[in-house]
Amino acid sequence: MRAARMHDYGKTPVLEDIPIPEIQPDEILVQVKACGMCRSDVQLIDGYFREYADIPTPITMGHEITGVVHKIGRVVPKAAGFQEGDHVVVAPGWGDGTCRHCLVGNTHICPNVRWPGFGPYGGFSEFVPVPARYLVHAAEHLAFEQIAPLTDAGMTPYRGIKKLRDAGALGPDRVLGVFGIGGLGGYAVQYAKLLGSGARVVAFARNSEKLALAKEYGADHVINIRGKSPADIAKELRSATGQADLDAIMDCAGAPEMMQLGFKLLSISGHYADVGLVGDRIDIPLFPRVSREQTLHGSYWGNNTDLTEVMALAARGKIRHTLNVIRFDQINEYLELLRAGDVVGRTVMKF
Ligand SMILES: [Zn+2]
């Protein structure tokens, strides 16, 4: 089968032919139909994660995976309801199933977690073996290129906004800021409207084309922050919404200067959910965090429940997409475009 594999850190993946993997008795072999491309693929190549997880090579990249059930392992329970040909998406965090995080469903933060696309198996290959419990059914009327990104770009901000909602940060009298309108932010704006409890939604970015997309997806206001001081941005926010601060922030960028801006704009008792990883360190003043009783929510990817909920929204036509569909042999070209940061929407490789 064809596979895009990274053989060395710092080098582009090699597109090559390798054997179709065997499955364990509790696994299902998925024939990949589409796989989204993520900024974290570039970061994996660049070694961003090595300090935290030094994954041995070769690595088959690609973690936004959808496809069809090709072969079912012999101990996969009948009750799981899988049959050959079923359309499925791959939940990303494969936990050990035994720790307390796994036991409450948060397998993606298991200390022994494995991630597809960050090890021997990934979605930039024609087949991938997946433990059956990490597959979720997908409605057959949905296009594969649309559902692939829902396993990361279209799920990660969903979990983040649920955290803001569950913390009581949202309501009709609140303003929610969405920071960064890249692959994740376009979805974040839609979830902000769907789950935002009536909060007004303001999108912040530096690229006017991306902000136009946020507006199209339902943002009540958009603010282009390029070249503006935090005071100017606060003034613009006040004239748009009647208040100069944000009750909640969904940060899809995670860029240091944007986080500094976010914490300057965060209200008393404000909640900040961070899912972005553009930077690696932040320098923010401590006293306002304490005296204004602000909360920072780390939010990472998503679990089976998040993915199942997102797939239910997708099946009902509630999620819109901006996609660049590419071929397998264009993977390296688009990784470079992603590194430059100018891709609008999500890039999806389709077999
Ligand atoms: Zn676990």
> For residue 302, how far is its CA from the centre of ligand 1 (angstroms)?
14
> For residue 341, how far is its CA from the centre of ligand 1 (angstroms)?
34
> For residue 103, how far is its CA from the centre of ligand 1 (angstroms)?
7
Per DSSP, 247 falls in state: E
Contacts of 143 (CB under 8 A, 6+ apart): none
Please check whether residue 147 is in contact with residue 311, taking contact to mean a CB–CB distance below 8 angstroms: yes
Q: In the chain, which residues have pLDDT < 70?
A: none
> For residue 297, how far is its CA from the centre of ligand 1 (angstroms)?
21
> For residue 134, how far is its CA from the centre of ligand 1 (angstroms)?
13
> For residue 300, how far is its CA from the centre of ligand 1 (angstroms)?
15
CA distance 44 to 242: 42
> For residue 49, how far is its CA from the centre of ligand 1 (angstroms)?
20
Q: Are strands 200-205 and 221-224 parallel, antiparallel or unpaired?
A: parallel
> For residue 304, how far is its CA from the centre of ligand 1 (angstroms)?
14
Map residue 19 onto helix, strand or coil: coil
> For residue 28, how far is its CA from the centre of ligand 1 (angstroms)?
20
Residue 232 is encoded by which pair of tokens?
């100017």
Contacts of 226 (CB under 8 A, 6+ apart): 206, 207
> For residue 165, how far is its CA from the centre of ligand 1 (angstroms)?
26
> For residue 19, how far is its CA from the centre of ligand 1 (angstroms)?
30
> For residue 96, how far is its CA from the centre of ligand 1 (angstroms)?
4
> For residue 110, how far is its CA from the centre of ligand 1 (angstroms)?
4
> For residue 159, how far is its CA from the centre of ligand 1 (angstroms)?
19
Q: What is the pLDDT of residue 341?
A: 77
> For residue 145, how far is its CA from the centre of ligand 1 (angstroms)?
30
Q: Are strands 87-90 and 135-137 parallel, antiparallel or unpaired?
A: antiparallel
- Amino acid identity at 318: K
